[in-house]
Amino acid sequence: MDNAHKEILEKYWSENSKPIEYRYPDFFDPKWTVMESGWPCFKLSIFDNQPWKEMHKEAEQLIDSFHPHREDYGYGWKSLTIHGLDEDTQSLGQYGNDRNKTLDELEWTWVADKCPTVKKFLTDVWPAEFLNRVRFMLLEPGGYILPHQDRPDSQKRLSVCNISLNNPEGCEFLFKGHGKVPFSDQGSAFLMDISNVHSVWNRSNTPRLHMIIHYELGHRIRDFFYVLRSSYYTNRGAK
């Protein structure tokens, strides 16, 4: 590992390795939860019993097909696109100015055909009308993603969904100033506010496989709110 990177990561970990604190209002308010809570992530507990292990197997069998990702600030970080322009789809903003044209061209890739459980989750369970880019993200043993933020502070809100298909002990995702995302090795889904600085470091001997969903709610706002509300009360404890 690059010494400078190691120094950054160790300092970041010493400062941010703590549980994230939540304070829940008595009643669920979707707008507050997504836009105003300031929470760096929110567990979609309603999905706790999804067949994550099946999905992990489907992703794992394709591990040799993954493409290196953001090598400028990551190491051992790879991706494979399930829904996008092709199996190695980058940020949609990188495909020219005509965003609508890019959106129109989004499709299931061959990866989806190899991963029926994943595809079924995305079509039947995931509460959004449109899928944008959906990818498996691999972080190899010893791999890391240096602290960065994907959106400016002005776009502070819970947005993309990050799902751990596994999360081996020793692999951690930390939000600066907030703490460690409690991903489960058995599978777990979180909405993330990626306007917060975050970093991941896999200090295990096992590849870590996650899935990241970018989406547009469209006409399924109420489905989304249902998922949020159910998860909110589960996360908070008894009503």
| Chain position carrying tokens 């989806």 | 112
Q: Out of 11, 18, 99, 101, which residue is the one contacting another protein (CB under 8 A)?
A: 99
Check residue 117 for interaction with another protein (CB under 8 A). Answer: no
First to last CA, the chain: 47
Structure tokens belonging to residue 161: 């969904």
Q: Nearer Cβ to another protein, position 204 or 231?
A: 231
Which residue type is seen at 231? Answer: S
Q: Which stretch binds another protein (CB under 8 A): 3-11, 16-24, 96-104, 192-200?
A: 96-104
Q: Which residues, 6+ apart, have CB-to-CB distance to 223 below 8 Å?
A: 127, 128
Min. distance of Cβ 194 from another protein in angstroms?
16
Min. distance of Cβ 124 from another protein in angstroms?
8
Check residue 218 for interaction with another protein (CB under 8 A). Answer: yes
CA dist list (Å): 88 to 63, 65, 69, 137: 13, 10, 9, 11
Helix (H) or strand (E) holding 67: strand 67-68
Check residue 24 for interaction with another protein (CB under 8 A). Answer: no
Structure tokens belonging to residue 57: 């197997």
Min. distance of Cβ 182 from another protein in angstroms?
21
Check residue 46 for interaction with another protein (CB under 8 A). Answer: yes
Q: Which residues bind another protein (CB under 8 A)?
A: 27-28, 46, 99-100, 103, 124, 127, 129-130, 132, 216-223, 225-227, 229-230, 233, 239
